[in-house]
Structure 1
Amino acid sequence: MNEVLSQDEIDQLLQAISSGDSEADDYKPVNDTRRIKIYDFRRPDKFSKEQIRTVSNMHETFARLTTTSLSAQLRTLVHVHVASVDQLTYEEFIRSIPTPTTLAVINMDPLKGNAVLEIAPEITFIIIDRLFGGSGDTGGKVNRDLTDIEQSVMEGIIVRILANMREAWTQVIDLRPRLQQIETNPQFAQIVPPNEMVILVTLEIKIGEEAGMMNICIPYITIEPIVSKLSSQFWFSSVRRSSTTQYLGTLKEKLADVEMELVADIGSINVPIRDVLALRIGDVVRLDNIRVGEPLTLSVGSKKKFYCQPGVVGKKMAVQIIGKIEEHENEDFEELTPEGDETI
């Protein structure tokens, strides 16, 4: 903020300059060190740096999945990696892609709105040539529209790619992307107004010695409901949560087949070791605190879990479960045995 000088201060300053006591150059204005950030109201930033970084992490997973699936389907070495993640207007995206191209309009259910998956022509025709039995060498760039058969083949490829996208987005939302249609002219894929902000994920695909680009364009209004989840904290907490529950169903299924020993405990008594060694056939051991009609305890492994009563099924002895032992009751059973004694 500039300081306002009084009239006396102005007079003293002029007198000092005229008398030669001070030079005019000594009174230079102070440089303004404030940083000025240019802001374009025509293309406001809708995504923070953290959100863009999270989207990049998600699509790194998508790139790895797509590398595996395309390599298996094309029977050749394929490498996919994230080249960049940017935010720009939809008009800028449309102007940046060639015509004709392979442009898939994707329904982002359960999110409202659509997204666009664009595969560069050089990659499209390499994929088609490989699937038709060729070597993948297209002899340079091919610049033409897809035939009906080629478009049908690319639909199958895109459906597989969308399955990878669904898996990559699992940590944030249960996304169910579906292919709506394939266009070759970008002007026919106006899913949002031209000045609407979008997030653009650019991936580089290398098939053999040939390389090209694949773009995923997602409008802000489509993912606005989940923008708060696009944070590093939410992302890593979701990854940890999923890693602990991913194999929970399999573990339960395997544990269900594990055999456990069941023991019906009629009663017990503490006796010295010398008495145990002196036991002979026909001796009677009197158990403490056992009454006729009282329930027995049924142990599963080393834990007392149920109350039961003895009986017979056919010609075999059996027990019938009549109740469950609660945790606080189980603690009462686990008292220490006096030293030098043996429990029978």
Structure 2
Amino acid sequence: MIDQPDETAPADEDEALVAWEAMVAGSEKTLSQTEIDRLLDVDDSKSVRTRSVIDQIVNSSFVNYDRLPMLDVVFDRLVRLLNTSFRNLTSGTVEVTVQQIASVRFGDYLSGIPLPSLIAVVRAEEWDNHCLLTVDSELIYSIVDILLGGRRSDPAPIDGRPYTVIERALAERLIRTVLKDLGTAFSPLSAVGFACERVETTPQFAVITRSNNACISARFQVALDGRGGCVSLLIPYATLEPIRDLLLQMFMGEKFGRDSMWETHLKNELRRTSVDLSAVLGQAQVSLTDLLAWKEGTQLVLDMRPDAQALLTCGHVPMFVGEMGQRNGNVAIRIDADLGAQDEVIHGLLQR
């Protein structure tokens, strides 16, 4: 078979050459967009690349993590707790560090889980939602070797075989330890308990939310006497929604949220503040037409008896009621009942 010569390329080159000669000669001919694209060696794939960039921006896996700064404090507290718990579990030298904290899409996290691994589907009881805890094979084999008295110098090889019953039991013990410390780390913010519902080895069976939903991913590196592995925690933003306002707070000293000592001191100082009390002897409701018709000498009739009690107010807050009289030549009110609005007045002052 004789190959026919390709006549398309020479034709394109001739058209481009003609367009170039016309432009150089100062011809009045206006170049079309196609001729300009051929001169610049630009094809229609640029629009495709533009659309792909837009799609990448819209479907980006990056979510602003800085809007939940208190999570850094929670994870730092979790690291300290895990160091103590793993040390008590293995009776050896343990070092837990935060390797990465990032915001990812749930589908991207599932596709990036190294296999084989154990994926625990965890339920946050008080928040009524789920999260994932992943333990990789290196950490599982290291825990099994250490707890069963194996050598602590050489890491166990990763052969990709299914986990045995003993390995799963020891790994679930490790998972329960991590979940207990995770609940303790969140305890200053909110009382929550994490319970392991099931343990999966296939990521497709551990779906707890939509693939494009935003989640917080925290990866912890565990070093156990020259070996170790990683533990990954994935918390969807929907799971953290009940305590989102608390997670937006900034870390202050060793306390979470507001400073109770400063608030108590401020309340004590406010109690020494002088405030104005108004005695309301009577009230009447009139129309605006009657009010505009008032003249000098107009009398306002109040439906009040001589023994009626006066109302003491601070601003618009009713405070006390009492009987009006005289004392040492001055008008006085004897308080007969406390309306219990002192806390409301102090709260209003604090808001200002």
TM-score between the two structures when normalised by the length of structure 2? 0.54
* Aligned-partner SS, 1:239: coil
The residue that corresponds to 1:118 in the other structure is 134
Which of the numbers 178, 183, 190 marks the counterpart of 2:195?
Answer: 178
Runs (5+) with no aligned partner, structure 2: 1-53, 262-352
Which of the numbers 151, 154, 169 marks the counterpart of 1:135?
Answer: 151
* Aligned-partner SS, 1:117: strand
The residue that corresponds to 1:222 in the other structure is 239
* Aligned-partner SS, 2:239: helix
* Aligned-partner SS, 1:163: helix
Query: Counterpart of 1:213 in structure 2: which amino acid?
Result: C
Query: Counterpart of 1:85 in structure 2: which amino acid?
Result: I
1:41 correspondence with 2:58: yes
Which of the numbers 93, 104, 113 marks the counterpart of 1:77?
Answer: 93
Q: % of aligned pairs identical?
A: 23
CA displacement, residues 156-207 of structure 1 (integer Å, 9 cap, x when unaligned): 2211111110111012111100011111111211111111111001111111
1:241–1:85 CA distance, 2 compared to 1 (3 A): closer
Q: Distance in 2 between matches of 1:139 and 1:150?
A: 13
1:188 correspondence with 2:205: yes
Deviation at 1:82, TM superposition (A): 1.0
Runs (5+) with no aligned partner, structure 1: 1-37, 246-344
Query: Counterpart of 2:72 in structure 1: which amino acid?
Result: S
1:87 correspondence with 2:95: no
1:77–1:155 CA distance, 2 compared to 1 (3 A): same
Query: Counterpart of 1:61 in structure 2: which amino acid?
Result: R
CA displacement, residues 279-337 of structure 1 (integer Å, 9 cap, x when unaligned): xxxxxxxxxxxxxxxxxxxxxxxxxxxxxxxxxxxxxxxxxxxxxxxxxxxxxxxxxxx
1:66 correspondence with 2:75: no
1:163–1:139 CA distance, 2 compared to 1 (3 A): closer
CA contact (8 A) 2:155 2:227 kept: no
The residue that corresponds to 2:176 in the other structure is 159
CA contact (8 A) 2:63 2:104 kept: no
* Aligned-partner SS, 1:156: helix
Deviation at 1:41, TM superposition (A): 2.6
Q: Distance in 2 between matches of 1:106 and 1:57?
A: 21
Greater mean alpha carbon deviation, residues 174-183 or residues 146-155: 146-155
Q: Distance in 2 between matches of 1:71 and 1:147?
A: 24
* Aligned-partner SS, 1:83: strand
TM-score between the two structures when normalised by the length of structure 1? 0.55
CA contact (8 A) 1:90 1:198 kept: yes
State how many pairs are aligned. Answer: 207
* Aligned-partner SS, 2:240: helix
1:170–1:238 CA distance, 2 compared to 1 (3 A): farther
